[in-house]
Structures are given as structure tokens and as C-alpha cells.
Chain A
């Protein structure tokens, strides 16, 4: 993941926060996804667009995690979200 990559919710996604989870719906096919834990923390950061480096910086500040581990975990998660067309990257 390029540190300047801008991450944002895919335009075909509707989402809503329910307590500490995010519920996402793909409008293309009506599929739902529930994001909790660290995935919910990431979604909370990128829900209004954020660069990868700003995302990692925000998470490192909020949680007890070092930068390298955070980058690694975020990359794995984001690749999954991008593959499912939930996140678009610019």
C-alpha cells in the first residue's frame, strides 16, 4: 500500500455505525458486511477519506501498536476490503 494512497468507502456502499460496529451494504447485490474490532477502527478512520499514512498515524496514536505492525495489519485488511469492492483507492 502506497503511503499517499487515498482510501475511501466505495461509492456503491452504504454504511451505518451501530454501537462499536459498522454495517456495510453493497448496493450492487444487497450483500451485507459487519465490521467489528480493528476493522471497525479502520473504517471509522477512512469513512470520510484518508491517506494510508494518515490512517496509520491515527491508529498508532489511538491504540497500543507500533507503526510497522500497524502498517502490515492495515495493508492486509485493506486488500481484503478492496477485493470485496468496499473500499476504493485513489
Chain B
């Protein structure tokens, strides 16, 4: 069987199908996580609106994505998938997002719902509620020379000081593409008819990991400003922007998550406010360049 090998979040991932979101690597070491197809996954009966089930005894996770693939993730080393319906893009998005996220939790790692760009050799993570403008700002920063380190999911070293490059393929909505003067023609849609598109992978060279120089919360405001965040608020942000937070209590990882969050709260946290829209994007990018 053909096997494709990739590096993401500091891990070697092998897969029995190509994952165009990632850069292929040649390694002699065994994969940290092996991904393979299994068209006979047995799924539990889940209540309506519940798509994830965690076995408290062995921490294995089953995911039943509506109109999409199913996954079984166990030992932090193995992801089995059944493509079912929804197509290749939906499969890849969930595989590299939630399924990989669950495997990371099983390894005792704590993925964050954040995107990151590199400034002068250090990584700055951006968190914010859906619609806060992470993708737009990160793309503007990338165009400005601050390369994209990770889109949507960031995975740090266990001591929370280093960031590993993640999926470096930005996703933008049609109206954002328009503002950047880009055409969606020829771009891969994230999902059919959703109006969100994958840009080509950022190909700027990245080191295998880089120190974290800050975490920035994006919020809407009346002017462009950057202010400090207290440690208590920083801790709350880390929990609120954890990727699939529900897995932390379900897997009994509360204590190790707290220890990780405390380490991460030693990094400077900032609140960045700015009016939404493209008019203030240049000013925002300039402010971040000045700070980092």
C-alpha cells in the first residue's frame, strides 16, 4: 500500500491517502500517528446532536460527523477513518482538525484553536471567537512577510514555550478574497456551496519549531489598540480557546491541562481591538510589527 508521510505539529503522520494540506516529508523514523481507512467502523448510538464519544476507560474517541466521515482515534497513535459521504475536502478538514486534535489530547498535548504567524523568529498566536477576523488578519500578515505558522490549530511543546508548524493552508471567505483582490476561480472549496476557499499552502521556510513570543486575543473595538491581559484572564482565554475543550474533562485531563495553561500564561498575552473591515488592516499589521 502506498503510504504518504507528513510532518505537522512536530509529529510525523503517515496516511494511506495524500493530504494536500501538508508538506510531504521523507523520514526513516516510524510515524508518531498512523492514519488508515477502515470502512467497518462500529459507531455507538449517540444522542441527537452529539457527534463525539469518548471512552473514559481507554480514552479512545469515536467521531460521527454528520454528512461526513467517521473516525476512531486511539492510543494517541492511530486514526482510522471511514470516508462515508461528504467528499475528499470534508474528510481532510475533519481528519487534520478534530481527529488529529483528539489524538493530540490522547498524547497529553493541548491543541489551541488559534492561528499563528512568525515575527522575527518568534511565533505570535491569534485567538478570537468565530468571526473575529483571525483568517483575514493572518493572511494580511503573511502578505506582509510574517509567514503563517499554523492555521486554525496550534500545538505547543509540553512546556508551552515552543510552537510547531501546523497546517499552513489558510481558508478565506469569498468576500475576504474579494477584498484581497483574489479570485476563487481554481481554488479548492472547503465545503461545497459554503463560500469558503483554501488558499495555496504558505511555502515560506519554517524552522521545525520556534519560541512563542505572545498570544493575542482579537476583538472588535472603536480604534486599533493593543493592551496587556492579566494572568487570570489569560488562563480563561486558554481554556475558552482550547480545541475541542469538552475532551479535557471527558478524558480526565483537567489537572495536566491546568499545569499546561499555567505554563502558557507565562507568555505575554494581549488584547487587540480594532474596527472590523479592511480599512484598519494596514494600521493593525503595523502595530503588530512594531510590538513583535
Contact = CB atoms under 8 A, between A and B. Distances in A.
A18 to B, nearest CB: 6
A30 B232 contact: no
Contacts of B249: 12, 27-28
Given A27-B248, A27-B254, A34 B231 contact: yes
Interface of B: 231-232, 235-236, 239-240, 242, 245, 248-249, 254-255, 257-259, 261-262
A25 B239 CA distance: 9
Nearest to B236: A32
Contacts, number: 40
Contacts of A14: 254-255, 257-258
- A18, A23, A34: which has the most chain B beta carbons within 10 Å? A23
Q: Which 9 A-B pairs have the closest CB atoms?
A: A30-B239, A14-B254, A32-B235, A27-B254, A14-B258, A27-B249, A14-B255, A25-B258, A34-B232
- A12, A18, A28, A30: which has the most chain B beta carbons within 10 Å? A30
A16 B260 CA distance: 11
A65 B240 CA distance: 40
Contacts of A34: 231-232
| Main secondary structure on B side of the interface with A | helix
Given A14-B258, A23-B258, A25-B258, A30 B231 contact: no
Contacts of A83: none
7 contacts: A12-B249, A14-B254, A14-B257, A16-B262, A25-B261, A32-B236, A32-B239
Nearest to B241: A30
- A18, A25, A28: which has the most chain B beta carbons within 10 Å? A25
Given A25-B239, A28-B249, A32-B239, A16 B258 contact: yes
A23 B235 CA distance: 9
Interface string A14-27: 11101000010101
A12 B236 CA distance: 16
B114 to A, nearest CB: 15
A28 B259 CA distance: 17
Contacts of A18: 262
Contacts of A68: none
- B240, B245, B255: which has the most chain A beta carbons within 10 Å? B255
A76 interface: no
Given A14-B255, A16-B259, 8 more contacts: A14-B257, A15-B258, A25-B257, A30-B236, A30-B242, A31-B239, A32-B239, A33-B232
B127 to A, nearest CB: 13
A8 to B, nearest CB: 15
A16 B258 CA distance: 7
A12 B255 CA distance: 10
Contacts of B239: 25, 30-32
- B231, B257, B258, B261: which has the most chain A beta carbons within 10 Å? B258
B232 to A, nearest CB: 5
Contacts of A33: 232
Contacts of B245: 30
Nearest to B256: A14
Contacts of A15: 258
A16 B232 CA distance: 13
Interface in A17-69: 18, 23, 25, 27-28, 30-34
